Amino acid sequence: MPLFGVVLVSYILTVGGNSSIIFLSMVEPRLQTPMYFFLDNLSVLDLCVTCTIVPQLLANLWGPEKTIASWGCITQAYLFHWTGCTECALLAVMAFDRYVAICRPLQYTLIMQPQVCVQLATAAWSSGLANSVLQATLTLQLHHCGLHILDHFFCEVPVLIKLACGDTTANDLSLAVGAIPFALMAPLLVLISYTFIAKAVLKLPSADGRYKALSTCSSHLVVVIMYFGPAIYVYLQPPANSTQAKFMSFFYCVITPLLNPLIYTLRNKDVKRAWKRILQPQSEVKPSKE
């Protein structure tokens, strides 16, 4: 029951926080920029992950029977793999956006045009969908015998592969190869982008300019570390302890979607101004008397 309460509160805050980011970007013209466009996509992904995993987790924590229907398990396998891969690609795209903003500021509006942003987001979503369809379909075609008991709190591809009673070498190989663009190439692109950003920031003459440049990408860097760290640890170096593996999965399924909107909005002056304009639409600034 205590864990149920923690997960329920996290679920409510995650849905509210990410929905508010999407809402603000739609109604506030100043937030309709490439950075917030990609942030909207990240919020949609977080909502998809949360709404795919957490409701079933809450049901299992509340009731005595911890089961999931076949269609629910299949849905989780497809959607979770899709959103996970897409988020890896999207974080790399967001790093490229920060690179252009800091290293090519005069060309930023020319490079990051609306159609280019849409194309980059489409590529992220499409690549994640393609890998999800391939990996989940291959996994679901495996023959499962005996009791279908998952030592996990949701259905994901690696856990479902372990249920198979036949040879899973081809599935393991396919999963490893399919993870290369998302678990290796995407973090590498982020690392390259921030290497160029660091060089550009160090060349700035004033400390104030360096601080402003770093503040524009600090939130994204924290999110990258939080997401890629557990994901790479779980998928590339799975621990022998299943409890530890479940805790890491819990972190990037429940905790990370909760923290993302907080990280991007707590120190964001644009978001704070947007909330003030929405919550106080009739407020006017009174002129000071001399």
Q: Which tens digit of pLDDT belongs to each residue from 139-181?
A: 988 887 767 788 788 888 888 888 888 888 999 999 989 989 9
267: pLDDT confidence band, cut at 50, 70 and 90?
low
pLDDT over 80 at 240, yes or no: no
Mean pLDDT comparison of 105-114, 218-227, 248-257, highest-scoring range: 105-114
Rounded-to-integer distance, Cα 80 and Cα 60, Å: 18
What is the C-alpha to C-alpha distance for residues 219 and 226, in angstroms, rounded to an integer?
11
| C-alpha dihedral sign at 268, 274, 275, 276 | positive
How many CB atoms are closer than 10 A to CB 255?
14
Rounded to two decimals, the pTM is 0.88
Which phi and psi angles does 267 have, rounded to 5°? -105, 15
Q: 231 falls in which pLDDT band (50, 70, 90)?
A: low
* Token couple for 103: 């290293």
Average pLDDT, the chain: 86
CB–CB of 261/17 below 8 Å?
Answer: yes
Question: Which residues, in sequence order, are CB contacts of 103 under 8 Å at separation 6+?
Answer: 196, 197, 200
Average pLDDT of 43-69?
Answer: 90
d(CA 18, CA 39): 9
Place of tokens 């678990």: 183
Please give the average per-residue pLDDT across 58-71, as a whole number.
Answer: 86
Please check whether residue 91 is in contact with residue 190, taking contact to mean a CB–CB distance below 8 angstroms. yes
| Distance between first and last Cα of the chain | 61
Burial class (CB in 10 A: 0-12, 13-18, 19+), 151: exposed
**pLDDT for the residue 233:** 66
Residue carrying structure tokens 């045009």: 113
Average pLDDT score over residue span 51-80: 89
Tell me what pLDDT residue 236 has.
59
pLDDT in tens, 181-203: 998 899 999 999 999 999 988 88
